[in-house]
Amino acid sequence: MMTLYFLRHGIAEDRTAPGIKRDADRVLTAEGRQKVRRVAKAMDRLELQFDRILSSPLLRALQTAEQVAGTLARAPKVEVWEELSPDGDAAALIERLNQLCPAPDHVLLVGHEPHMSRLISLLLTGTPDLAMTLKKAGLCTLTVTELRPGRCATLEWLLTPKQMALMR
């Protein structure tokens, strides 16, 4: 069985902020960094441990993943996967996850909307059409016995950053 944790990046600079030339260059705002810190601390209090931490290559997602890795005890190094970019291919991501050796038990995926919600939907319902939104710095957990493109997962929990901040 594999447990997949889906974490959306924190609040980032606006696309129209001065100096922003490409979407990929947007960084977390001070508020975004603060929320991600609170979420990472909640993850630590929940004693979450990951075999792999995988991030989109976009800067705001990478900053989010690195904040989590820096907060958790015994966290693995963050790996950048193109399949987690906003236009990433869900089937390619699933195939690559299945090729990991040894097969991980707990994987944190850090990425973007609507890609993350569509992937969660695909694994829960078999289609990318489930009406859901993963809040910025929100965390969703699925368990999977056999990871494949289609209905194969069980929703364990879906938490907003506010809910996680209340965890003491």
**pLDDT tens-digit readout, 7-54:** 999 999 988 888 888 888 899 999 999 999 999 999 999 999 999 999
Partners of 54 in beta bridges: 79, 109
Q: Which CATH topology does 2-14+21-165 take?
A: Rossmann fold (3.40.50)
The set of residues, in sequence order, having a beta carbon less than 8 Å from that of 108 and lying 6+ positions away, is 5, 7, 48, 50, 52, 53, 54, 65, 68
Contact 119, 54 (CB under 8 A): no
Q: What average pLDDT is seen over the chain?
A: 95
Q: What is the pTM of this model?
A: 0.96
Q: What share of residues in the chain are helix, strand, coil (percent, to 5)? A: 35, 20, 45
